[in-house]
Amino acid sequence: MVNPQQHSPGTPPDRAALPDVAQVWTWLHAVPDPEIPVISLTDLGIIREVTYEDDTLVVTVTPTYSGCPATSIINLDIETALRGHGVKNIELRRQLSPAWTTDWLTQDGREKLEKYGIAPPQPAGGPEKCPQCGSQHVEKMSQFGSTPCKAQWRCTACLEPFDYFKCI
């Protein structure tokens, strides 16, 4: 078998030696978000595409917003995970358009957020219930939370503060 990393220029790589795209998606599903480690990058919906160009694996990433401070760590975590599975040629592409939206969060990701104590985004602009006790009696304390994509809320029933993942 030809090693795809050592083929002659102009010679197509042996595609059978490369991990298939479905396997790569599985590996990426195991990479946690650095700011909310309970959800994966695929749960967050920021991995937009995985494809090959010749023998280079191309992963397209859309950050949650263009100034996201975790972007460099996310890229490092993706590269580290893929290299850990033997992928040698990797290109990470940043895609800003279309902009990320909370609609891209998976249902599984939303459930994981709530179990972790972060209210998942709601179209109405605020949490529908407290992720701690389930009460619908909640109030906004601050538009600014522990990260730019979250706001600080409090339950008036159990009095516990909690983060709300802002709807974008």
* Domains within the chain, CATH numbers bracketed: 15-102 (3.30.300.130), 117-165 (no CATH)
Radius of gyration of the chain (CA): 19
Beta pairing partners, 150: 165
Using CB atoms within 10 A of its CB, is residue 75 exposed (0-12), middle (13-18) or buried (19+)? middle
Query: Alpha-carbon distance 92 to 73, whole Å?
Result: 12
Give the pLDDT of residue 100: 93
Residue 156, SS3? Answer: coil
Cβ atoms of 39 and 112 within 8 Å: the answer is yes
CB neighbour list of residue 31: distance below 8 Å, 6 or more residues apart: 40, 41, 42, 77, 78, 81
Give the pLDDT of residue 16: 62
Give the pLDDT of residue 14: 61
Give the pLDDT of residue 5: 37
Give the pLDDT of residue 13: 55
Phi, psi angle pair for 118, to nearest 5°: -110, 125
Provide the pLDDT confidence category of residue 17 given band limits of 50, 70 and 90: confident
CB neighbour list of residue 109: distance below 8 Å, 6 or more residues apart: 39, 40, 43, 44, 45, 120
Give the pLDDT of residue 4: 34
Q: Is 0.95 surpassed by the pTM of this model? A: no
Query: Alpha-carbon distance 24 to 59, whole Å?
Result: 10
- Encode pLDDT of 107-155 as tens digits: 999 999 999 999 999 887 789 999 999 999 999 999 988 888 889 999 9
Query: Cα separations (Å) of 26 from 32, 70, 74, 107?
Result: 12, 22, 16, 17
